[in-house]
C-alpha cells in the first residue's frame, strides 16, 4: 500500500485578511482527491468563489462522477462567468489511485510539477475543450518517494514586474527545486521554501494569493483495531487469522474478542490491569498483539478524547495510549464483529453515557476522517 501525504502552504495577498485560494482533499480506500481552486480577484469575493468551486468538485466526485467528467462539467459552467456576474474560479484537481497512478486536470491554472528521484519536471498537459472552455489533462504514476505539486498563479506569476516577464512560471518552480532540493532535505519543508522564494523574487510582497500543495508518496504507518466477535462462531478462525496477517500495529478492544483471539492462536491471556470500575478499563496482554483492552468503555473513552491535542495525552491510561497509537497512524483498519452483546444494551450503560460498539466506532471513524486519516472498515 502507498500513502499520500499532503503539505500545504498558503499566503494571502498583501493587506488582505482572507485568501482567495481554497484547497480540499479526501482519502478513501479507492482513491485520494485533492482540489486547489483560485477564485477570481482577491479578498472575500475570491474566497467565496474558490470555496464554492472546490466544494462542487468534491461533491460531484463523491456522487460517483469521474474526475474527468467532474472537471469538464465545472470548467464548462465557468463560461457563463465570463459574461455574467457570477463566481469564477480556476482550479487544479488530481485523483490518485492506491497504486500511485494519478490523473490531474487544470483549468486556467499552472501546469503541475512532478518530482521523481529528487528531480523536478513540468507535467505537459494535453489540452482539449470542455464546452467553450479549455482544460488540460496530465497523468502519471507516483512511486515511493515521488511527489506532485499543485499551485495557484500566485506562485507561477511571482516576480511579474520585477524582472520576470510573465512570472517565474512552472519552469521557475522546477528550476528552484533542481537547484536547491537535496535528498537529505525534508520534503515537508519544500513548499515553504518555494513560497519564500516567490516572496523574494516579488521584492518581499505577495502580489497575489499564493498557494502551493505538495502530495508525497510514502509507505504508510498502519494500525488495525479488532473489536467484537464475528456474527457467526464459525468465522472466528478466519477473523483472527486475517487480523494477525495485517502488516500493521495490532490492537484488540473487547474482552470476548480477546478470548476468541487467545483460543484461535492458542495463546495465554495475561491480565496487566483489572481497572477501577468505569474509570480505568482492564488491560490484557496476548503475545503478538501490541495492545489488548476491554471494549465498550475503552472505545468510548477513546472517542471522547481522540480529537484532543497530542500534547495533552500523557499515556497514563490504556485509552490515552490507544489514542496516541491511532494518531501516529496514517491508515486505520477497523475490523468490527457483528455479534450482538446484550450486556451493552443494559440501562446502566446508557446512564453512564457508554454508547454501543457500532455507534462508537462510527463516531471514531468520523473523527479519523476529519483528521485526514485513511479509514478502512470491514464487518464480519
pLDDT tens-digit map of 143-168? 999 999 999 999 999 998 888 888 99
| CATH number of the domain to which 19 belongs | 3.60.40.10
Q: Is the pLDDT of residue 309 over 80?
A: yes
What's the CATH number where 343 sits? 3.40.50
For position 315, what pLDDT does the model report? Answer: 85
Question: Mind listing the pLDDT tens digit for each residue in 29-80?
Answer: 999 999 999 998 888 999 999 999 999 999 999 999 999 999 999 999 998 8
Q: Indicate whether 350 pLDDT > 80.
A: no
Better pLDDT: 346 or 189? 189
Same domain, 171 and 233: no
CA pseudo-torsion sign 246, 371, 31, 362: positive
Specify whether 46 is located in the same domain as 101: yes
Q: Average pLDDT for residues 310-324, to the nearest whole number?
A: 92
Residue 6 reports pLDDT greater than 80:
yes
The verdict on 259 and 273 lying in the same domain is yes
Q: What's the pLDDT score for residue 341?
A: 66
Pairing of strands 270-273, 249-253: unpaired
Each residue's pLDDT tens digit, 253-276: 999 999 999 999 999 999 998 877
Q: What is the mean pLDDT of residues 352-375?
A: 89
Average pLDDT, the chain: 93
Question: What total of structural domains would you count in the chain?
Answer: 2
The band of 19, judged by pLDDT with boundaries at 50, 70 and 90, is: very high
- % the chain with pLDDT above 70: 96
Residue at a domain's end among 201, 218, 235: 218
Q: CA angle 167-84-211, nearest 5°?
A: 30
In this predicted model, what pLDDT tens digit does every residue of 232-250 receive, in sequence order? 999 999 999 999 999 999 9
The model's confidence at residue 354, banded by pLDDT at 50, 70 and 90, is confident
The last residue of a domain, from among 218, 245, 266: 218
Whether 57 and 74 share a structural domain: yes
Sheet hosting strand 3-11, strand order edge to edge = 3-11, 210-218, 147-151, 113-116, 119-122
Q: Note the pLDDT tens digit of each residue in 213-235.
A: 999 999 999 999 999 999 999 99
Grid cell for residue 124? 505537459
Same domain, 208 and 257: no
Under the banding of pLDDT at 50, 70 and 90, the label for residue 346 is low
What is the end-to-end Cα distance of the chain in Å, rounded? Answer: 23
pLDDT of 86 strictly over 90 = no
Percent of the chain surpassing pLDDT 90: 80
Backbone angles phi, psi at 57, to 5 degrees: -60, -45
Q: Are residues 247 and 157 in the same domain?
A: no
pLDDT recorded at residue 277: 57
Residues 9 and 90 in one domain: yes
Q: Are 130 and 71 in contact (CB under 8 A)?
A: yes
Residues 190 and 240 in one domain: no
Q: Give the pLDDT confidence score for residue 279 in this predicted structure.
A: 72
Task: Determine the pLDDT at residue 375.
Answer: 96
Claim to verify: residue 361 and residue 335 sit in the same structural domain: yes
All three cell numbers of 193: 521554501
**pLDDT over 70 (residue 347):** no
Domain final position from 190, 218, 246: 218
Domain carrying residue 76: 3-218
SS3 201: helix
Domain check: are 237 and 354 in the same one?
yes
Does the structure show a pLDDT above 60 at 96?
yes
Task: Work out the average pLDDT over 312-341.
Answer: 93
pLDDT recorded at residue 376: 96
What is the pLDDT confidence band of residue 340, given thresholds at 50, 70 and 90? confident
Q: Where are the beta strands (DSSP E) in 274-368?
A: 283-285, 291-293, 331-336
Residues 339 and 254 reside in one and the same domain: yes
Q: Tell me the C-alpha to C-alpha distance, in Å, between residue 192 and each of 70, 155, 208, 214, 356.
A: 30, 12, 16, 10, 45
Contact (CB, 8 A) for 222 and 333: yes
Section 161-180 average pLDDT? 92
Whether residue 29 sits in one domain with residue 149: yes
Amino acid at each position: 500500500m502507498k500513502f499520500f501525504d499532503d503539505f500545504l502552504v498558503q499566503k494571502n495577498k498583501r493587506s488582505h485578511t482572507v485568501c482567495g485560494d481554497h484547497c480540499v482533499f479526501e482519502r478513501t480506500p479507492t482513491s485520494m482527491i485533492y482540489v486547489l481552486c483560485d477564485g477570481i480577484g482577491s479578498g472575500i469575493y475570491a474566497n467565496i468563489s474558490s470555496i464554492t468551486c472546490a466544494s462542487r468538485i468534491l461533491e460531484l466526485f463523491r456522487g460517483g462522477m469521474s474526475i474527468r467528467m467532474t472537471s469538464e462539467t465545472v470548467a464548462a459552467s465557468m463560461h457563463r462567468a465570463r459574461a455574467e456576474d457570477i463566481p469564477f474560479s480556476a482550479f487544479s484537481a488530481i485523483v490518485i489511485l492506491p497504486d500511485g497512478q494519478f490523473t490531474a486536470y487544470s483549468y486556467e491554472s499552472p501546469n503541475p510539477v512532478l518530482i521523481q528521484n529528487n528531480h523536478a519536471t513540468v507535467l505537459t498537459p494535453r489540452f482539449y475543450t470542455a464546452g467553450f472552455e479549455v482544460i488540460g489533462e496530465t497523468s502519471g504514476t507516483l512511486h515511493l518517494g515521488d511527489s506532485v505539486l499543485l499551485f495557484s498563479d500566485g506562485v507561477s506569476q511571482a516576480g511579474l514586474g520585477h524582472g520576470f516577464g510573465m512570472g517565474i512560471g512552472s519552469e521557475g518552480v522546477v528550476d528552484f527545486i533542481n537547484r536547491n532540493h537535496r535528498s537529505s532535505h525534508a520534503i515537508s519543508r519544500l513548499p515553504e521554501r518555494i513560497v519564500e522564494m516567490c516572496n523574494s523574487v516579488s521584492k518581499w510582497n505577495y502580489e497575489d494569493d499564493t498557494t502551493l500543495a505538495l502530495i508525497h508518496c510514502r509507505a504508510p504507518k498502519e494500525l488495525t483495531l479488532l473489536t467484537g466477535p464475528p456474527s457467526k462462531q464459525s468465522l472466528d478462525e478466519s477473523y483472527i487469522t486475517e487480523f494477525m496477517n495485517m502488516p500493521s500495529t495490532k490492537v484488540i478492544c473487547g474482552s470476548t474478542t480477546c478470548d476468541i483471539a487467545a483460543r484461535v492462536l492458542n495463546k495465554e491471556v495475561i491480565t496487566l490491569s483489572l481497572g477501577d470500575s468505569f474509570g480505568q478499563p482492564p488491560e490484557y496482554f496476548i503475545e503478538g498483539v501490541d495492545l489488548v483492552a476491554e471494549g465498550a468503555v475503552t472505545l468510548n473513552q477513546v472517542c471522547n478524547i481522540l480529537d484532543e491535542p497530542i500534547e495533552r495525552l500523557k499515556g497514563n491510561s490504556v485509552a490515552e495510549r490507544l489514542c496516541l497509537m491511532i494518531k501516529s497512524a496514517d491508515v486505520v483498519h477497523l475490523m468490527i464483529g457483528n455479534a450482538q452483546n446484550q450486556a451493552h444494551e443494559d440501562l446502566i450503560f446508557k446512564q453512564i453515557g457508554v454508547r454501543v460498539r457500532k455507534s462508537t466506532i462510527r463516531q471514531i471513524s468520523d473523527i479519523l476522517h476529519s483528521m485526514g486519516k485513511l479509514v478502512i472498515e470491514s464487518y464480519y
